[in-house]
Amino acid sequence: MHRPPGKWSFWRFNWIAHHKILRAIERARVHAHGELLDVGCGDRRYEASFRGHATRYRGVDLPSSRFLQAQAPTAYASGDALPFRGGSFDTVLGLSMLTYFPEPSRMVDEAHRVLKPGGTLILEFTQSSPLHDEPYDFLRFTRYGAAWLLERSGFEVIDMIPIGGLGTLVGMSMIAGINRVNRGPWRVLTEIPARLLYVVVQLGCELRDLVFRNPREAVAHLAVARRR
């Protein structure tokens, strides 16, 4: 597994989405505190973002996850069946993972169970994105559906942070197509042209989102909610 793109690495695959997730995390992390559980932690790429906010970082993921690296998670588990006692954590984090659940309410209920009263849930809700990891890509959410799901499980929504826009969606689709070409034995010839196209496409789509900013076109929303 390769390192994720940095904040300014616009020649990297999927930079256009990743740096906007980082920006949303920077806004949401002020609500993180105490012991944090990252559900679907993968390679723990967001751990550094919460240093100075959470006092301890733990993670769970499936043993079959393609995002794992050498460092094992705290536990192997699914987000809808967490192996922890109720009220064990101050913060629960879930990024780019809720679309994998055919019944996402079960994951939200589990987050509520393992959080202490007054604990914080930081959960990404995808609104529009290309299909991925088929056939395990199940649902999309508007900000209103996300708020309803959280409130139904006993959370109070504090913030709903839009991530990206129409330009982000177009850029993700275009660079996915470029990436499909930039594979196999011909990669020695296609790598440099593909990277140049990444730059042109991602910066162009980024400019579109900056000029025509519209939260209704968000690719996702990062919800911050408090357990009542």
Q: What's the CA gap between 87 and 172, in Å, rounded? A: 38
**Residue 76 shares a structural domain with residue 28:** yes
Look at residue 208 in the predicted model and tell me its pLDDT: 96
Q: Is 90 left (phi over 0), alpha (psi -120 to 50) or beta?
A: alpha
Amino acid in the structure at residue 89 = F
**Residues in contact with 167: Cβ distance below 8 Å, sequence separation at least 6, in sequence order:** 16, 204, 205, 206, 207, 208, 209, 212
> In this structure, is residue 90 part of a structural domain?
yes
Amino acid at 144: Y
Q: Which domain holds residue 188?
A: 168-207
pLDDT attached to residue 1: 45
Residues 96 and 149 in one domain: yes
Are 138 and 184 members of one domain?
no
Q: Are residues 31 and 126 in the same domain?
A: yes
Looking at the fold, whether 75 and 120 belong to one and the same domain comes out as yes
Residues 91 and 186 in one domain: no
Residue 103 sits in the same domain as residue 202: no
User: What pLDDT was estimated at residue 2?
Assistant: 53
Q: Does one domain contain both 117 and 192?
A: no
Helix (H, G, I), strand (E, B) or coil at 52: coil
Judge if 91 and 174 occupy the same domain: no
Question: Can you give the pLDDT of all 228 residues of the chain as single tens digits?
Answer: 456 666 779 899 999 999 999 999 999 999 999 999 999 999 999 999 999 999 999 999 999 888 887 778 999 999 999 999 999 999 999 999 999 999 999 999 999 999 999 999 999 999 999 888 899 999 999 999 999 999 999 999 999 999 999 999 999 999 999 999 999 898 999 999 999 999 999 999 999 999 999 999 999 999 999 999
∠ CA 1-206-216, rounded to 5°:
100
